[in-house]
Every structure is written in C-alpha cells, then in structure tokens.
C-alpha cells in the first residue's frame, strides 16, 4: 500500500485534520533530540483517544507497517526516529489530567501530559510527583514511563518505575489492556506494569498512566560544593552516603559543564573549580538544614574547596533548573553535542570519572561530564564540530570504550535514557545472548507482526 492510500485509511480513523503527509511535516518528525539520526516517516498521525490508537495499530499490524509512538521527542537514544519509515504516532493531543486523588495519593493522566504539568497539578493539591527528569519542562509522562526516566531526586526516591501503579496500554494487535491499577499491593499475575515501563514503545502504546504521589515535603533546599576534579567529588559522594545520609539530590558537573551552565544561567558559580557537586534534601525544615550542613561538612572533610548553601527556595530552584539545562547549555561549545549515559556502582564513580577523562584525552576529544552522582549515573558529553568527520569517528570509538569501562566496573550501558537505536549494538554485551533471545520472544508475544518501533530495543 502506498503512503497516500495509507494516509487515507488513517484519516478514516482519526479524521483528515489529524493526518500529515506533507514533506515538511515528515521532515519535522524525522528526528528527536538525538544527533546523527534522521529518517522521515511516511505519515504522521495524531490520535484523539485509546480507541483511535487501537484502530491505527490494528490497521498497521494488518498491513505490516511500522509504527513509532512519540511523546515530546526529547529522548536521547534515537528512540523515536522512524528508521524503517511508516507511521509516527504522536500522543500530544492526549493532554488531560483525568484525576488527582489526595486520599489515595495518586494521579491518573493521559500520556501526552508534560511531566511539569503533572508536577504542578500535584503541587496544587499539596502533593509531589517525584520523578523529575532534566527534560521535565518538555517530556511527556508517556515518554517518561516508556523510557523509565530517572531524575534529580533518584537517590532518595527512585525513578519513574517506582511510581507507576497502573497503565492502560494498546497492544499492537489492537486490544486495550489495563495493567496494575490503583493499589500498591497487587500480585495477581506477571508484573506487566514493570515490563511495560521502560519498554521504549516496542511492546504497546500507553494511553493512560496511574502514578503514585507523595505528600509534599515541608521544605526542600540545595547547596553546592566545589572540588578539584570529578573524581574528588565522586569520593565525597561515597563518603556522604557512608556517613548515613541519603540526600534527595546529588548531582555533579565537571569544569566544562559548570562554565557552559554559568554562561546560560548567570548564577555566580565558580567557573575555576574542577567540579561542582549540587546536593539537596527535603523534609522537615530543621532536618533539611541539619542534613545540608552535615553534607557540607563531609564534603569539606573530603577535599571540597568551597561549600555554599542556597539562601532561599528560589535560589535552590534556580540551581536545579540550571543543572537541568547542562546538556543544551553544553551545545554552546560546539556545533554537535553527543551525550551518552552510563551507570556504575556508586563506589566506582571516581574511577569511572578518571577513565572517561583518560579516554577523552587519548582520542583528543572534549568530553564534559555531568550526571546524577547519587545514582552512579554519568552523562559524558562530547562537544565537537559537526563537519569534523574524523572527530565524529573518534567519538564513536571513545564512547565504545566508555561503555566497555562501565561494564567492566559492574555498571550498565544506559542508566536512564534507554537503548533505542543508539545503544542497540551494545545491548548484547550487557544482557548476554540468552537474555536477549528471551527479550525477543517477549517482543514477539506482544507484537507478532513486529510493527512497533522496529530497529530499537527488542529487535
């Protein structure tokens, strides 16, 4: 079936207004936030409800046309690039917050709701939606669940997976199922909610999400500590945890990132320092104050060259907002920024930082590193000239070595951004052949025609 005919069939389902086939529109959906990947779809559709999603998927299965679900397209793993063409299924029309139940501490939302919008709606009821990926202003809940997004509060509170209670999901064959629900305790059957969380749009399309909320902590504050280098900061983080403190937030930036962020946010950060640790805690105001003071002390004992606590909530929020912008701020330094995502056990953080620095030096590359120190999750980011093909080639080699180093230290090839198309070549090294084969059998059980997000996780 050619794409005009396909578009016609899709228009019967969602209405003509919600189908796009013009070249320019296809070009706009040819990429996401991942550099170096680009492929035009044949058609873009914007369904208005789960029934329409079901009809689209059923048709696609019948015709064996690839379908790529898409939220805000802020992922960094080429997870929404339609490598095999076909349909891009955009969920931005589904933006309703269906329910916030304070007594049950939960919210029920459509997948296109932005993370920020959910957080604000919860805050309006005195509640907190915990997961807060750096991309929260733009990313959607559907995308967060599909990638199991991590955030700045990961250390104390966990990631998206820990807050998903239930899902409504459309299977590629068109059935609509509900997994989990409104309960914390429910062990009836395999835990499909967890399986679907982080499935990167390869098993089903999420059309509704029920998430757990927590009471909003009375206070939340942050502070910064400066170090000679990232490895020193990593050692301080390990010491803080060993001292029995679990900060809510524990983020680090190396010198390159501090300079880029300062250039954007003008917060008066010390751009001479080799590394910055941004720590924070929340809860009872006195406890927060005590915890921040203690973290500051431990940092000083472990080599911090300076420590400052944010004076006010507004200042704390500014610091966090600046940290969330590290990646785009880095792109001020060059015409191409390639960000990667690796995680190591926390005690290995310092060693991993050293190895990344050595790898960058050996390949003569500028690699800035920032990340979620508390989770051992690093984002080495290579900044280069888009026309320097040789440097791009070297960066591929460097990242290969960085992933190998992460695995060697007992870590993983992605802590939060997902596998997508970008990491697929490394997946077997992480999981082994047997587990990968099982993954593929699971994929086939959900998606017999193999239409959902081909070329990505599970392919």
Partner 1 sequence: MAGDKIFDDDLLSRCMSCGFCLPSCPTYQLTGEEASSPRGRITLMRAVQEDRLDVTDPTVLAQSQFCLGCRACEPVCPAGVQYGQLLEQWRDTEWQGRRRPLLARALMAMMSWLGMAGITLLGLVRGAAVTRRGSAAAPHLMLGCVERVLYPRVSRSARRLVPALRAPAVQGCCGALHAHNGESAQGRRMAQRLGKQLPGTIVTTSGGCSAHLTHELGADRVVEFSAWIAAGNGPDPASLRPIMLDERGKPLPRHASGGRPARIGLQDSCHLRNAVGVWRQPRELIAHLGEYVEVPNAAGCCGAAGSYSVLRPGDSRAVLAPKLDALAELDLDYLAVVNPGCYRQLAGALKGSRTKVVHLAELLATAAD
Q: What does the binding site for partner 1 look like in residue numbers (CB under 8 A)?
A: 20, 22-25, 27-35, 46, 72-74, 90, 92-93, 95, 112, 114, 116, 135, 137-138, 263-264, 325, 327-329, 331-332, 335-337, 386
Q: Which is nearer to ligand FAD, 76 or 250 (CB)?
A: 76
- Kindly list the distances between the CA atom of residue 213 and the CA atoms of 128, 130, 131, 178, in Å, as whole numbers in the listed order: 6, 7, 10, 20
Q: Which is nearer to partner 1, 321 or 424 (CB)?
A: 321
Q: Which is nearer to ligand FAD, 74 or 316 (CB)?
A: 74
Q: Which of the choices partner 1, ligand FAD, none does residue 331 contact, using the CB cut-off of 5 to 8 A by kind?
A: partner 1
Q: Which is nearer to ligand FAD, 78 or 212 (CB)?
A: 78
Q: Which of the choices ligand FAD, partner 1, none does residue 151 contact, using the CB cut-off of 5 to 8 A by kind?
A: ligand FAD
Residue 99: beta bridge partners? 108
207: nearest Cα among 57, 68, 91: 91
Q: Quote helix, strand, coil % in the chain, to nearest 5.
A: 40, 20, 35
CA pair distance 165, 181, nearest whole angstrom:
6
Rule CB under 6 A: which residues touch ligand FAD?
32-33, 68-76, 79-80, 91, 111, 133-135, 139-140, 142-144, 146-147, 149-151, 200-201, 205-206, 327-328, 416-417, 453
For the CB of residue 235, give the shortest distance to partner 1 in the complex, in Å: 29
Please tell me whether residue 377 adopts helix, strand or coil conformation.
strand
Pull the structure tokens for residue 152: 């700045």
Q: Which of the choices partner 1, ligand FAD, none does residue 176 contact, using the CB cut-off of 5 to 8 A by kind?
A: none
Inter-residue contact 182 to 165 (CB < 8 Å): yes
Q: Which of the choices ligand FAD, partner 1, none does residue 355 contact, using the CB cut-off of 5 to 8 A by kind?
A: none
Phi-psi region of 169 (alpha: psi -120 to 50; beta: other; left: phi over 0): beta
For the CB of residue 293, give the shortest distance to ligand FAD in the complex, in Å: 27
For the CB of residue 338, give the shortest distance to partner 1 in the complex, in Å: 10
CA pair distance 302, 288, nearest whole angstrom:
21
375: nearest Cα among 407, 343, 403: 343
Q: Which of the choices partner 1, ligand FAD, none does residue 336 contact, using the CB cut-off of 5 to 8 A by kind?
A: partner 1
CA pair distance 147, 36, nearest whole angstrom:
20
For the CB of residue 322, give the shortest distance to partner 1 in the complex, in Å: 9
């Amino acid at each position: 079936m050619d794409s005009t005919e396909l578009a016609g069939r899709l228009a019967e389902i969602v209405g003509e207004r919600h189908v796009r086939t013009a070249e320019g529109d296809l070009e706009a959906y040819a990429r996401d936030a991942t550099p170096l990947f680009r492929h035009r779809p044949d058609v873009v559709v914007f369904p208005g409800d789960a029934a329409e999603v079901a009809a689209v998927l059923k048709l696609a299965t019948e015709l064996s046309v690839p379908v790529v679900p898409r939220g805000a397209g802020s992922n960094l793993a080429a997870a929404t690039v339609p490598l095999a063409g076909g349909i891009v299924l955009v969920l931005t029309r589904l933006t309703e917050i269906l329910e916030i139940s304070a007594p049950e501490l939960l919210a029920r939302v459509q997948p296109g709701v932005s993370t920020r919008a959910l957080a604000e709606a919860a805050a309006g009821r005195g509640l907190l939606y915990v997961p807060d990926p750096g991309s929260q202003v733009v990313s959607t809940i559907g995308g967060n669940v599909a990638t199991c997004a991590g955030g700045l509060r990961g250390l104390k509170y966990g990631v998206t997976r820990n807050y998903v209670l239930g899902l409504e999901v459309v299977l590629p064959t068109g059935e609509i199922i509900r997994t989990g629900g409104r309960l914390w305790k429910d062990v009836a059957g395999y835990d499909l909610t967890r399986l679907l969380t982080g499935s990167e749009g390869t098993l089903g399309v999420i059309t509704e999400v029920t998430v757990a909320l927590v009471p909003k902590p009375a206070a939340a504050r942050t502070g910064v500590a400066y170090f000679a280098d990232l490895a020193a900061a990593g050692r301080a983080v390990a010491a803080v945890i060993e001292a029995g403190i679990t900060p809510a937030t524990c983020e680090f930036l190396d010198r390159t990132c501090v300079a880029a962020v300062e250039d954007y946010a003008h917060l008066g950060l010390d751009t001479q320092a080799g590394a910055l640790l941004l720590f924070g805690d929340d809860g009872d105001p006195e406890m927060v104050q005590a915890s921040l003071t203690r973290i500051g002390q431990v940092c000083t004992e472990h080599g911090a060259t300076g420590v400052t606590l944010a004076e006010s909530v507004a200042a704390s929020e500014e610091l966090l907002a600046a940290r969330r912008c590290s990646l785009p701020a880095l792109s001020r330094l060059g015409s191409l920024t390639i960000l990667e995502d690796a995680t190591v056990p926390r005690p290995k953080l310092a060693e991993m930082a050293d190895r990344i620095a050595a790898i960058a030096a050996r390949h003569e590359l500028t690699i800035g590193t920032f990340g979620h120190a508390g989770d051992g999750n690093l984002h080495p980011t290579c900044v280069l000239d888009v026309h320097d093909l040789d440097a791009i080639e070297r960066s591929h080699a460097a990242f290969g070595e960085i992933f190998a180093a992460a695995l060697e230290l007992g870590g993983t090839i992605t802590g939060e951004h997902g596998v997508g198309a970008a990491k697929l070549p490394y997946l077997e090294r992480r999981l082994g052949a047997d587990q990968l084969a099982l993954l593929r059998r699971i994929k086939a059980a959900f998606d017999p025609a193999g239409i959902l997000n081909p070329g990505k996780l599970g392919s």
